[in-house]
Structure 1
Amino acid sequence: MPANDETGEKTEEATPRQRERAREEGRVASSREVGTLFVLTAATVTIYFSSTYMIGRLESLFIRIFDAMGSAELSMGGAIRILQEMLFQTILAILPVMLGLIVASLMGWILQIGIIFVSKPLQPQLSRINPIEGAKRIFSTQILAETAKSIFKFTVVGSVSYYLLKPAIPFAAATMSRDSKIILATIFELGFDLALYLLLFLLAVAVFDYSFQKWRHSKDLRMSRYEVKQELKEQEGDPQIKARVRSIRQQQLRQQMIAEVPKAEVVITNPTHYAVAIRYDMDNRPSPHVLAKGRGVIAQRIKEIATENNIPLYEDKWLARQLYAACDVGDSVPVDLWQAVARVLAYVRTLNDQRKAVTA
């Protein structure tokens, strides 16, 4: 096969086996933006439904802090207790959000790629510590595209945040002198509005990026025509090997069939081209059946074994052809041939009885 066929251009879509192999190696189509979208959505929804709980926790935390700061008798031990209380209250306040983020992060990946367990990416690879290969990865098209995408996202998020929060700064400053609950409610409201705008933006980015990742993954898995042929050959089996196996199997079947010839009552012949060995065992089978059959060389071998074992050869061209065509080895004789076969068996048994009488 020409070398250019083996290293040809990868123009063919990946076969199911190629995709399965890539998945086993951990090479799947996934988008980080989809995961980010799930996480931000979970954070927004969790904060919206647990805002009252979180505001209450944070308000009690601020009250403890302000009371402690106004206390003239605050000692080192008291300061440590306040810090511990701050940490505890903060954890309780953000616990719903953190749980939501964990679940959303897992769901984002599972919905994209399902659940897979791979070990190959974890195996050490010398190419990863090769400085030349590292430089190639740094300046690869994929890394440059990811960098450009990150800059674009940062610019859009920064711009949206600036234009959304700028009008709210005077209002937020005016509420600083009010009750802590009002301050926290204002912060939550601004954060929720900002999250909604960012969700719309990230939704568009995630749809585009996921579609792009799917396209690039399919492109990376493409195969050359030679690779497709080789894989199909592996799946279907090498024709030469299959032919060899088939030949061996047929030879084994012929050997088993030939070994049954000595059990026959008669061998019906063509006389030269066909031979069919017949046995009628009334105790085990209700009708005569074929022990062996063959034509050409195999027919000659059947007749030789029959002669060696004193099994009569009966010449009937029509019947031999009919039995050979209608029966496989082990089959019963068809009903329409019973009478003809019965006539042969009767003749053979009469002949055997005469031989026994002469011998006696």
Structure 2
Amino acid sequence: MAEEQDKSDKTEDPTQRRLDEALKRGDVVKSQEVSTWFVIGGGTLALTMFAGSSGASLTNTMKGLIAKSWAIPSDGRMLVRLTETITIEVLAAIGLPFLVLVVAALAGTAIQHRLVWTTETLSPKLSKISPIAGFKRLFSAQALANFVKGLLKLALVGTVLVMLLWPERNLLESLVSTDPTSILPVSMTLMLKLLGSVVAIMAVIAAADYLFQYQQWYQRQKMSLKEIKDEFKETEGDPKIKAKIRQLRVSRMRKRMMAAVPGATVVITNPTHYAVALKYERGMNAPVCLAKGTDRIALKIREVATENAVPIVENPPLARTLYATVEIDREIPPEHYKAVAEVVGYVMRLKKAWR
């Protein structure tokens, strides 16, 4: 019941990370019918292309052995050399067809998914040797589907082969009394005809099976909402932790700003909502923003400035403009030089008069 509940919860499409992890584990889309089709197709191609030349080469080799059987050496060294020669000729005759079969088998796997090198599928698991797990696999829906698929494939291929061979039944009966040398061309023609039909049928079966296997694989990769949230936390970080870190950064920045306010030259305010603390000394290119804030932060800046005898000048338009355009520890923009220069000049004149 718990397992069914887990499956019913997995209603969300898998993320790219989930698909990549499945590939690393070796859990990929794999249809045995596609691989079988490539092997049968490769065998048919190899038989069509190389049957004549390979058959002629092997025939000549066997003819020579039979014709000169009396001359076959019986001593060990010459017999080994003769065996090596025959082996090389046989391998040369079947080498290219065998290579075509190997390439077809690799293509049948590579066309379905990227090549995967993993040892996870070879690692020992208790579920692989558990009788209960084996019994469940034996009578699972997947096993039943494979059994039905095998029966349908056997029935379909068998029906097509019977339909192809039945019209040739008289020809097949006549081969019993035919010269053996003429049997091979007829057999080759029939074989290629049968293999071509099997390849065509298997192409349809392989395409249908691949779609079925892909659907089954995709369903296995689906995720629950909890899994998606957990993955997001792992990749992007826990939102609560990120919010806490952001809060700590803001708190540190505020403390640093308040510590810099006593060194400001002037604090420009919009009486209750905005406050910008600027510092200017001779030799500086332009005034620098030490602190800025709104509402409660602005009020705190005003309090610190009052406690440290930093002049406070109310200029609402300039305060709002500076708050929106200048960053902390940066010089004010050139377009505000004139307005700020008037305020700084006013403050310096007040300080001079006070002294």
**Matches of 2:170 and 2:132, distance apart in 1:** 50
Q: Using the TM superposition, give the Cα deviation of residue 80 of structure 1 relative to its aligned residue in structure 2, in angstroms.
A: 6.8
**Matches of 1:100 and 1:153, distance apart in 2:** 25
Q: Using the TM superposition, give the Cα deviation of residue 212 of structure 1 relative to its aligned residue in structure 2, in angstroms.
A: 1.1
**Aligned pairs (5 A) from 1:174-323:** 174=177, 176-178=179-181, 184-232=184-232, 234-271=234-271, 273-280=273-280, 283=283, 285=285, 287-306=286-305, 310-323=309-322
**Matches of 1:191 and 1:92, distance apart in 2:** 23
Q: Say if 1:320 and 1:5 are closer, same or farther in 2 by CA, change over 3 A.
A: farther
Q: Is the 8 A contact 1:6 1:227 kept in 2?
A: no
1:11 paired with 2:33, answer no
Q: Using the TM superposition, give the Cα deviation of residue 270 of structure 1 relative to its aligned residue in structure 2, in angstroms.
A: 4.1
Aligned amino acid, residue 116 of structure 2? I
Percent of aligned pairs sharing the same letter: 36
Of 47-56 and 144-153, more deviation after overlay is shown by: 144-153
Q: Say if 1:6 and 1:185 are closer, same or farther in 2 by CA, change over 3 A.
A: closer
SS at match of 1:113: coil
**Aligned pairs (5 A) from 1:52-131:** 52-67=52-67, 71=70, 75=74, 85-131=85-131
SS at match of 2:111: helix
Q: Using the TM superposition, give the Cα deviation of residue 344 of structure 1 relative to its aligned residue in structure 2, in angstroms.
A: 1.3
Aligned amino acid, residue 99 of structure 1? L
Give the corresponding residue for 2:351.
352
Q: Using the TM superposition, give the Cα deviation of residue 202 of structure 1 relative to its aligned residue in structure 2, in angstroms.
A: 0.7
Q: What stretches of structure 2 of length at least 5 have no aligned partner? A: none
Of 342-351 and 289-298, more deviation after overlay is shown by: 289-298
**Matches of 1:14 and 1:295, distance apart in 2:** 45
Aligned amino acid, residue 104 of structure 1? A
Q: Say if 1:96 and 1:190 are closer, same or farther in 2 by CA, change over 3 A.
A: farther
Q: What stretches of structure 1 of length at least 5 have no aligned partner? A: none
Q: Using the TM superposition, give the Cα deviation of residue 256 of structure 1 relative to its aligned residue in structure 2, in angstroms.
A: 3.6
Q: Say if 1:65 and 1:155 are closer, same or farther in 2 by CA, change over 3 A.
A: farther
**Matches of 1:82 and 1:143, distance apart in 2:** 51
Give the corresponding residue for 1:340.
339
- Root-mean-square deviation (Å): 3.4
Q: Say if 1:81 and 1:269 are closer, same or farther in 2 by CA, change over 3 A.
A: closer
Q: Using the TM superposition, give the Cα deviation of residue 155 of structure 1 relative to its aligned residue in structure 2, in angstroms.
A: 4.5
Q: Say if 1:322 and 1:152 are closer, same or farther in 2 by CA, change over 3 A.
A: closer
Aligned amino acid, residue 116 of structure 1? V
Q: Using the TM superposition, give the Cα deviation of residue 266 of structure 1 relative to its aligned residue in structure 2, in angstroms.
A: 1.3
Q: Using the TM superposition, give the Cα deviation of residue 350 of structure 1 relative to its aligned residue in structure 2, in angstroms.
A: 1.9
**Matches of 1:167 and 1:202, distance apart in 2:** 28
**Matches of 2:255 and 2:170, distance apart in 1:** 96
Aligned amino acid, residue 98 of structure 2? M
**Matches of 1:7 and 1:200, distance apart in 2:** 37
Q: Say if 1:279 and 1:230 are closer, same or farther in 2 by CA, change over 3 A.
A: same
Residue deviations 1:152-192, cap 9 Å, x none? 434544555565375553455455543xxx55544433332
